[in-house]
Amino acid sequence: MSETPLLPATSRALLHRIATAQTQGRAPSLTAAVVRDGARVWSAGYGLVDGAVPDEDTQYRIGSLTKTFVAVLVMRLRADGLLDLDDRLSQHVPDAPAGSATVFQLLAHTSGIASETPAPWWERTPGDVRPNLGDVLADDHRKFPAGHRHHYSNPGFALLGALVERLRGQSLEQVLRQEILAPLGMTRTTLLPRAPHARGWAVHPWADVLLPEPTEDAGLLAPAGQLWSTTADLCRFAAFLAEGHPAVLPKAAVELMRTAAAPPEGDRFDDGYGLGVQLKRDSGRVLAGHTGSMPGFLAVLWFSPTERVATVAMANTTSGLPIGGLGADLVRIVCEHEPRIPDAWQPLTGYDPALLDLTGPWYWGPGGVGLKLCADGDLELAPLAGAGRGARLRAQPDGTWLGLDGYYAGETLRVVRRPDGSVDHLDLGSFVFTRTPYDPAADVPGGVDPDGWRGR
C-alpha cells in the first residue's frame, strides 16, 4: 500500500479545483480528499465552518451515499446465507409494500416502484410523519413493470433498511456500527451529527445570502440518506469498496456491487448502476461510487478500480455545485498529473506444465483466438486480430475453467480429450475451439466436409 504524497503541482491543481468549485458554486464550505492505493494522500478544505476551514474530521451529511452502506449490509446478509438476491422482499418482510420486488431489483433500482414517498417531502420533515413501513409508499407506487428499466427509488432503500433490521434483529445504526464502521475504523460516521460538523444551508439563487436548512431524523427513510461522515472516514470506505475487507466483504462481492445491473436511463449511456453503486464513464475511465444530496448538503465518492485512485468531496449547500462532476475532475487531475506506474511483471511462481499444452492459437471455425497463461494463474482468451469475443478464465476444482468477464462471463470451458489423453478441442459454453480452422481430426459439431478447404 503506497502512502507516497502527491506531487506539489498535483496538490495545487486539486486545491485550485475545489476552490473554483466553492466560489463558483457559492458553497459556504467544501472539503475533499484523495485516496491512492488504499491510503489517503491528500485532503483540503475551502470556505469556513464556524469560522474555521473544514478538515478531514468535519462531518457533513452524505445523503444517498448512505445507500451504498445499506447495500453492503444486504450483501453481507447474502454472504451469511440469510437471503438470496432473487428472493422477493415479502419472503423476509411480509408486511412490506412492494413485497413482490426482489432484493436485486431494490438494490439496482429496477423494481419499478415510485422514486419518492407520498407528500410531504420526506427530506425536510421528521421521520415520525411516516411511523409505519406501509407509509413510505402510496397505493399507486408501481410506476413500471419490475425489471424493465432503472427508476431510482428512495423508498426502495427504506425497504432494504427494514430488511436488514428484520434479519439481524437490531437497529440499522447497531448493524452499521458492528458490521461496517467498527471493522473499517470509521469512528466519525453517524446517523445524527456530532461536533465538529457543518450546518446545512440554502444559498439564494439571486443574492449572496443564506437560509438554514432543517436537519431532521428521517426515521424509516434513514437508509435512503441519513448518514453523516467525514472525508477521513469516507476515504476508508472508498478503499474498502475498491479492494474489499476480510471483516466486511471480500473483493469479489464488492466487484459484483459495481457491476452494471441496470440499463442507463434515456440517452445517458455514460451512467449506470450496480447494486447500491453508481457507475460513471469519464475521460475514458469507469468510475464507481455514489453521489448524495440532502437539503443543505452535497457529497460524492468516486473511485477508479483500474487506476486505484478514489476521491471524496462534501459541501454544505443544497444546490448550485455539480458535486458529481467535481469528484470526477479530482480523479482525472490525479490520473493525468501522476499516471499510474504499472506493477512490475512477475513470472508464475509455480504451475502445471500441462497447461502449456492449452496455450497458443485456437480456432472457433475460421476465427482465430489466442489462449494465454497469465502470471496469476488465470487463462486469457483474446481474438488474434480485430474485435471479437474474449474473456479471462479461472481454474475450478473440477478441472474446468470459469469465464470471469466479457461474453463468456459465467460460462464454463472444458478441455475435451481423446482416449490417448491428447486434447481434441476446447468446449466453451458449447462453442468448439480446435487447433486448426475446422480441424478434421476434432469432434466439430456438424462435421467437417471430407474434401476440406478449396479454391473457387
Q: What residues are paired with 394 via a beta bridge? A: 402
Q: Angle formed by the axes of helices 8-24 and 323-337, to 10°?
A: 160
* Residue that wins the pLDDT comparison between 214 and 388: 214
pLDDT of the residue at 216: 93
Distances (CA, A) of 64 to 41, 57, 61, 95: 25, 20, 9, 25
| Lowest-confidence region among 27-31, 193-197, 267-271 | 267-271
The owner of cell 459484483 is 256
Q: Is the confidence at residue 178, as pLDDT, over 80?
A: yes
Q: How far apart are alpha carbons 201 and 178 in whole angstroms?
A: 32
| DSSP string over 11-35 | HHHHHHHHHHHHHHTT-SEEEEEEE
pLDDT of the residue at 218: 96
Averaged over 160-171, what is the pLDDT?
Answer: 98
| Lowest-confidence region among 164-173, 257-266, 336-345, 351-360 | 257-266
pLDDT of the residue at 350: 83
Is the peptide bond prior to 263 cis by the omega test (within 30 degrees of 0)? no
pLDDT of the residue at 270: 83
Q: Is the confidence at residue 1, as pLDDT, over 60?
A: no
Q: How far apart are alpha carbons 30 and 12 in whole angstroms?
A: 16
Q: Cβ(78)–Cβ(215) under 8 Å?
A: no
Dihedral sign for Cα atoms in the order 93, 97, 98, 104: negative
Instruction: State residue 57 phi and psi, 5-degree precision.
Output: -105, 5
Residue 166 corresponds to which cell in the numbers above? 428484520
pLDDT of the residue at 286: 95
Averaged over 34-52, what is the pLDDT?
Answer: 97
The owner of cell 490520473 is 335
pLDDT of the residue at 268: 66
Q: Angle formed by the axes of helices 65-79 and 154-168, to 10°?
A: 40
Dihedral sign for Cα atoms in the order 142, 146, 148, 150: positive
Q: Is the confidence at residue 12, as pLDDT, over 90?
A: yes
Report which residue type is found at 409. A
Local structure of 323: helix, strand or coil = helix
Q: How far apart are alpha carbons 419 and 181 in whole angstroms?
A: 57
pLDDT classification of 324: cutoffs 50, 70, 90: very high
Q: Cβ(229)–Cβ(54) under 8 Å?
A: no
Q: How far apart are alpha carbons 320 and 10 in whole angstroms?
A: 26
To 5 degrees, how large is the angle CA 176–CA 179–CA 183? 115
- Residues with Cβ within 8 Å of residue 190, at least 6 apart in sequence: 59, 227, 228, 229
pLDDT classification of 14: cutoffs 50, 70, 90: very high
pLDDT classification of 3: cutoffs 50, 70, 90: low
Q: Is the confidence at residue 36, as pLDDT, over 70?
A: yes
From the list 349, 391, 343, the residue with the least C-alpha distance to 371 is 391
pLDDT, tens only, 334-388: 999 999 998 898 888 888 888 998 999 999 999 999 999 998 899 999 999 888 8
Q: Is the confidence at residue 2, as pLDDT, over 60?
A: no
Residue 68 corresponds to which cell in the numbers above? 451504498
Q: Is the confidence at residue 60, as pLDDT, over 80?
A: yes
Instruction: State residue 35 phi and psi, 5-degree precision.
Output: -115, 135
Domain ranges of the chain: 8-337, 353-433
* Residue 346 CB coordination number (10 Å): 8
High-pLDDT (> 70) share of the chain, %: 98
Averaged over 157-183, what is the pLDDT?
Answer: 98
Q: Is the confidence at residue 323, as pLDDT, over 80?
A: yes
Q: State the architecture of 8-337 in CATH terms.
A: 3-Layer(aba) Sandwich (3.40)
pLDDT classification of 205: cutoffs 50, 70, 90: very high
Q: How far apart are alpha carbons 11 and 333 in whole angstroms?
A: 9
User: Going along 112-243, which residue ranges are E strands?
Assistant: 201-203, 210-212, 228-229
Sheet holding 285-294, edge to edge: 39-47, 29-36, 309-315, 297-304, 285-294, 278-282, 271-273
Q: Compute the chain's Rg from CA coordinates.
A: 26
Q: How far apart are alpha carbons 213 and 203 in whole angstroms?
A: 10
